[in-house]
Amino acid sequence: MQSFPIFLSLQDRPVLVVGGGERAARKVELLLSAGARVALIADTVEGEIAQLIADARVSWAGRGFDDDDLSGMALVVVATDDEALAARVSNAAQRRSLPVNVVDRPGLSSFIMPAIVDRAPITIAISTDGTAPALAQRIRAEIERALPAALGRLARFAEIFRVQVRRTLESSRDRRRFWDRVFAGRIGELALAGDEIAARRELIRLLDSTRNENPPAGMVHLVGAGPGDPDLLTIKAHHLLQRADVIVYDRLVAPEVLAVARRDAERIFVGKRRGEHRQTQAEINRRLVSLARAGNSVVRLKGGDPLVFGRGGEEIEALVRAGIAVEVVPGITAALGCAASAAIPLTHRDHARACIFVTGQLKDGTVALDWPMLARPRQTVVIYMAANTLPIVAARLMEHGLSSSTPVALIENGTTSRERRVVGTLATIEQHARRAELEGPTLCMVGDVIGLALARDHEFRSDARTIA
């Protein structure tokens, strides 16, 4: 986020607009709709601006700009093709610490005028920080189509009961859950349809029953966060992240995925960071049980899929023993996500008849794998968490029969904007990895399919993300 979004109250406050043409008219209309008192500076006016002046909705000084015109103003908007004038007004406003926007000139502006979706009292603002206004307009059009025109009616309906709900339900969690039921159910449908009497009756009935019912039991959802790209989250995972009271996550969860979650949800990090104490699995299990027993909706967010090297099975066992309801929501495991991102086929009729997933580090930190099985020909081996044990893995595979020229790919932070790929062979991959200084979550792929991708796709080898 390069700019901080705020909503500024302009009701009955003076705003200066410099310019008398079509662009100025558009800005004046927005400012008037926000209740501002608009003063216009322009030598000449035309079209809609002239009509607004004739209707006494805008005050107009039929002359050029003077620095004293800024006195007492809350905001300044410049909509003129005169670049010298635009720069002069901008500099004068910023010397006075007045917010100023120069249309289509972000370099002269201290704030950006966003694209707006108006469902009063609901307002949605979209900004690209001045880089692509046309894109902001396109996003606005998509949101306009998605939101009911009467959405503001639902907000005004909720306002009627806001104080009563606050007095009846003491905890913010209970109030949020109550409003979720209102907006997502029949009450919201009635309010949107304009049947306010029926909506009020149903809401009062729901509030009374909510006050008298037992607190809902907590629950834990083991949710797969996928390999990193938030667009790869399942719809169910997205919904749960938006409704969670508490999110328990580890190091393999990408920041982009965590950003999808409800902002006021409690976030608890239980992963391992270099130089920091790591919570044991038993401690994590006890914490999940405790959070659920407190009535929370808990999302245990795990990188990839929760049941593929994520120790999800151990957490399920602990929760079931404690009598806690648990649900598993699958995610795209790292092998599938990274392979797709790099266009590496995990299986291929001529090169790999099988694909094997193994972990490069076991519970006690050792690497005790079935090396003869992994070194068989015509298969792809995907090794999770192999960055620290790569020298041992490469040596053991060669000892058990794989050629030193077998292609290897390391994919760090797969599917994200930070993705990097290191390619080589069993004989050279350790040297390449050391040079690349990989630090993020890294997946190792071994097999002829990597060589096939390199031979087939020149872009794979020349991609800035690939180190060979």
Q: How far is CA 298 from CA 58, 64, 221, 244, in A?
A: 54, 62, 6, 6
Helix boundaries (H) for 322-359:
334-342
Instruction: Mention every residue, 6+ apart, whose C-beta is less than 8 A from residue 82.
Output: none
The answer to whether 199 touches 159, Cβ cutoff 8 Å, is no
Check if 250 is active-site.
yes
Taking only Cα atoms into account, the Rg of the chain, rounded to an integer number of angstroms, comes to 30
Closest alpha carbon to 348 in 307, 380, 303, 317: 380
pLDDT, tens digit (0-9, with 9 covering 90-100), for 67-117: 999 999 999 999 999 999 999 999 999 999 999 999 989 899 999 889 999
207-230 burial code (b ≥16 CB/10 A, e <16): beebeeeeeeebbbbbbbbbbbbb
- Going by CATH, does the domain composed of 219-332 fall within 3.40.1010.10? yes
Homologous superfamily assigned to 151-212:
Sirohaem synthase, dimerisation domain (1.10.8.210)
Confidence at residue 235, expressed as pLDDT on a 0 to 100 scale: 95
Average pLDDT over residues 132-154: 92
Which backbone phi and psi does 357 adopt, to 5 degrees?
A: -105, 125
pLDDT digits (tens, 9 = 90+) for 4-23: 889 999 999 999 999 999 89
Average pLDDT (62-71) is 93
Task: Give the count of alpha carbons within 13 A of 180, CB side only.
Answer: 13
The secondary structure of 306-331 as a DSSP string is TTSSS-HHHHHHHHHHTT-EEEEE--
Grade residue 279 by pLDDT with cuts at 50, 70 and 90: confident
Contact 309, 316 (CB under 8 A): no
Tracing tokens 């469902």 back to the chain, one arrives at: 119
Residues 148, 150, 156, CA angle at the centre, nearest 5°? Answer: 130
Q: For residue 107, give every residue at least 6 positions away whose Cβ sits within 8 Å of its Cβ, in sequence order, or none.
A: none
* Active-site residue flag, 236: no
Token representation of residue 441: 């979550």
Q: Indicate the Cα dihedral angle 82, 87, 89, 93, nearest 10°.
A: 160
The architecture of the domain spanning 335-467 is 2-Layer Sandwich (3.30)
Report the amino acid identity of residue 232: L
pLDDT value of residue 276: 56
The amino acid at residue 142 is E
| Three-state DSSP class for residue 3 | coil
Peptide bond into 121 cis (omega under 30): yes
* 288 to 268, 309, 405: CA distances (angstroms): 10, 19, 46
Q: In this structure, are strands 122-126 and 115-119 parallel, antiparallel, or unpaired?
A: antiparallel
DSSP 277: P
DSSP-derived secondary structure letter, 59: E
In degrees rounded to 5, what are phi and psi of residue 88?
A: -65, -45
Domain positions in the chain are: 14-113, 151-212, 219-332, 335-467
CA–CA distance, 177 with 210 (Å, rounded to integer): 10
Of residues 49 and 221, more confidence is placed in 221
Looking at this protein, which amino acid is placed at residue 254?
A
Residue 275 pLDDT level (bands cut at 50, 70, 90): very low
**Which amino acid is present at 421?**
R
**pLDDT tens readout for residues 146-172:** 999 999 999 999 999 999 999 999 888
Question: pLDDT tens, 350-371?
Answer: 889 999 999 876 555 567 889 9
Set 69, 250, 305, 448: catalytic member: 250
CA 289 – CA 13 distance, rounded (Å):
54
Q: Tokens 């000449």 — which residue?
A: 44
Contact 223, 301 (CB under 8 A): yes
Q: Collapsing DSSP states into helix, strand and coil, what is residue 200? A: helix
Beta bridge partners of 181: none
Amino acid at 278: R
Calpha distance 364→101 (Å, rounded) = 60
Q: For residues 414 and 386, is the Cβ–Cβ distance under 8 A?
A: no
Helix runs in 70-171, H state only: 83-95, 133-146, 151-168
Residues 129, 180, 195, 272: which is the catalytic one? 272
Separation of alpha carbons 69 and 55, rounded Å? 22
pLDDT per residue as tens digits for the range 280-311: 899 999 999 999 999 999 999 999 999 999 89
The top-level CATH class assigned to 14-113 is alpha beta
Is the confidence at residue 196, as pLDDT, over 80? yes
Mean pLDDT of the residues in the chain: 90
Please give the Cα distance from 58 to 110 (Å, whole number): 24
